Amino acid sequence: METTMQKYFHWGAIGSLVTLIIWCVLWEMVLAPLKPGGSWLVLKAAPLLLPLYGVYKRDIYTLQWTSMMILLYFTEGVVRGWSDIGSLSSWLGWGEAAVVCVYFVCAVLYLRPYKRAAKKLAKELLDKVKVNTVK
């Protein structure tokens, strides 16, 4: 059974993932595209669509691998925030990094109870194995 906080973290993960998708599309098509009229860099939002259903359905494995994959977007945001000095693109880069941080924190905190339960089960299994080998 999920706690109330877990529900908030789940909705935070969904909301930040959807926000990041919209953010990337708007950035590369409307707000500050590399080329006037938009660029092919908008396709960077496509990989974010793949885990959206799994995150919505609370799939633990999807939340785990996306918490690592999303760090690529953090890296891009920091690099573009640092290198596109004095432009809207710089602010959008830092914003992307912030949205990624929200997703990462929400995903990790949502998964925390599952990780604890898995460690507990693994410890119990190892204790049973140790008891059986001593006899």
Q: pLDDT for 68-111, tens place per residue?
A: 999 999 999 999 999 988 889 999 999 999 999 999 999 999 99
The CB density around residue 116, as the number of other CB atoms within 10 Å, is 10
pLDDT higher than threshold 90 for residue 7: yes
pLDDT higher than threshold 90 for residue 117: no
pLDDT at 1: 65
pLDDT at 12: 97
Distance in Å from the first CA to the final CA of the chain:
37
Q: Write the DSSP symbol of residue 43.
A: G
Q: Is the dihedral of CA 90, 96, 101, 104 positive or negative?
A: negative
pLDDT higher than threshold 70 for residue 130: yes
For tokens 């693994």, the residue is: 122
Helices (H), 27-87: 46-49, 52-56, 60-69, 71-83
pLDDT at 132: 67
Q: Write the DSSP symbol of residue 42.
A: G
- CA–chain centroid gap for 55, Å, is 9
pLDDT at 36: 83
Mean model confidence pLDDT for the chain:
91
pLDDT higher than threshold 70 for residue 37: yes
